[in-house]
Structure 1
Amino acid sequence: MTKKPEDRAELFTPRNSNPAGTFYDLRATTLEGDSVDFNVFRGRVVLIENVASELNQLQSKYPHRLVVLGFPCNQFGYQENCTNGEILNSLQHVRPGGGFKPIFTIFEKCDVNGTNTHPVFAYLKDKLPYPDDDPNSLIQDPKFLVWSPISRTDISWNFEKFLIGPEGEPFKRYSKKFPTIDIEPDIQRLLRLTKT
C-alpha cells in the first residue's frame, strides 16, 4: 500500500547509525574487488560522487593531490541497474558514453540511503547532513523513495558530491544540481592547506 503524501512525516526517522570515528577509519571495495583503506588518502583532498564525466577532468588536473572516488548507486530511478562487472562497460558506451573511461577509482555499487547505507555514506551524511547549496530539498515524488527508513539527511538523487579536506575533515556537500566542475575553487582552497 502506497503512503499518501500527508502520511510521509511518519516515514522520516532520526539517524540511529553509528558511523566511523574518522574518515580514515573507513574502507570500501573497488569494482575489481580490492579493499581500500581510506587511511591511504591522508594529506590529500578527496572528492566523492556518483560517477560523472567531469570527475576525469578534475582528477587529471590534480593527479597527485586530489583523489576522486566514484560510488555507483541504484537507489535513484534504478539508473544503475547493472552488475558491478557491467558498470565500466555501461560508462563507456551508455552513460556518459562516447568511449568514456574513468581515470579515478570506482567502487562497488552500494546503497547510500536506508537500512543498508554503506559506512562511507553513513559517515558523510552524519558530518554533512545536507548540501551547502540546497539545504531544503529532498525527493519530491514519494514513488522514488525506495529505501527505508527515510531520513532528512538522505541523499536526494545521483550526483550529490562530498569534498573532504587534507586532514580528513568533511568540508562541503553539494547537491545534484551543483556542476561537478564548479567545485574546483573549493578544491584549490583545500589544496592550499595541504602539506606538499
Structure 2
Amino acid sequence: MSSDVPESFYDLKPLDKKSQQFDFHQLEGKVVLVVNVASKCGFTPQYKGLEELYKTYHDQGLEILGFPCNQFGRQEPGTDEEIASFCTLNYGVTFPVLKKIDVNGDHADPVYKFLKSKKAGILGFRGIKWNFEKFIIDKQGNVFQRYSSMSTPETLDADIAKLLA
C-alpha cells in the first residue's frame, strides 16, 4: 500500500465544511456509509433516501458522511456553505456533509485513496465512476461493500441492518 494511504480507516482526518478536522476515531464501533455527493446530478434525489437511512439507523450506530465532489460533469459547483444550505433546504439532510474534495486523480482525498485501495468497483475498476458511489464500513473499520451510483440508498438497508445487529 502506498505510504500516503493510512493503514486504518480510523486514522483518516478529512476536513468538514468549516475546514476543521473531522477525526474518524469518533466513528469507531459504528457502521459508516460514505458517499460522494453532488447537488446538480441525476442521482441528487438519493439525498432523500440517505436521510431516511440516517433517521432510521443513526440511533443504532449508523453514521453517513457525504463528500461533495465536482469531478463528474461539474455537478457540484457551489461553495461548502452553498452545498450545506442546498442539502438542508431541499432534502432536510442532518448527516454530516464534509468539505468538497476530489475522489480521483493526483489530488484525491486520503479517504477515497483508502476506500478505493480496499474495494475495487465493477470489473476491478479502482476509480470512482460517478457521483453517489457508496461504501459501507463495518464496526471494525473494514470496507464491507462498495455500491455503484445506481444502487439507491434503500437497496443498502438490509446490509446496514445486518451490520448493526
TM-score computed with the length of structure 1 as normaliser? 0.74
Match of residue 84 from structure 2: 88
5+ long unaligned stretches in structure 1: 1-14, 138-151
For the residues of structure 2 that align with 1:45 and 1:68, how far apart are their CA atoms?
9
Amino acid aligned to 2:48: S
Cα deviation, residue 53, structure 1? 2.1
- Partner of residue 101 from structure 1, selected from 92, 102, 105: 92
Q: How does 1:7-22 map to 2 (within 5 A)?
A: 18-22=4-8
Amino acid aligned to 1:62: Y
For the residues of structure 1 that align with 2:3 and 2:21, how far apart are their CA atoms?
22
Per-residue CA deviation, residues 101-130 of structure 1 (Å, 9 max, x unaligned), is 211011000000000000000000000011
Give yes or no for the alignment of 1:136 onto 2:123: yes
Match of residue 180 from structure 1: 153
Are the aligned partners of 2:88 and 2:94 in contact in 1 as well (CA < 8 Å)?
A: no
Are the aligned partners of 1:110 and 1:118 in contact in 2 as well (CA < 8 Å)?
A: yes
Match of residue 117 from structure 1: 108
Match of residue 190 from structure 1: 163
For the residues of structure 1 that align with 2:84 and 2:116, how far apart are their CA atoms?
27
5+ long unaligned stretches in structure 2: 38-46
Give yes or no for the alignment of 1:40 onto 2:26: yes
Are the aligned partners of 1:45 and 1:166 in contact in 2 as well (CA < 8 Å)?
A: yes
Are the aligned partners of 1:88 and 1:101 in contact in 2 as well (CA < 8 Å)?
A: no
Match of residue 50 from structure 1: 36
- Partner of residue 54 from structure 2, selected from 52, 59, 64: 59
Q: Which has the larger radius of gyration?
A: 1
- Aligned alpha-carbon RMSD (Å): 1.7
For the residues of structure 1 that align with 2:68 and 2:146, how far apart are their CA atoms?
17
Cα deviation, residue 34, structure 1? 2.5
* Structure with greater helix percent: 2
Amino acid aligned to 2:63: V
For the residues of structure 2 that align with 1:60 and 1:28, how far apart are their CA atoms?
24
Amino acid aligned to 1:102: V
Are the aligned partners of 1:17 and 1:122 in contact in 2 as well (CA < 8 Å)?
A: no
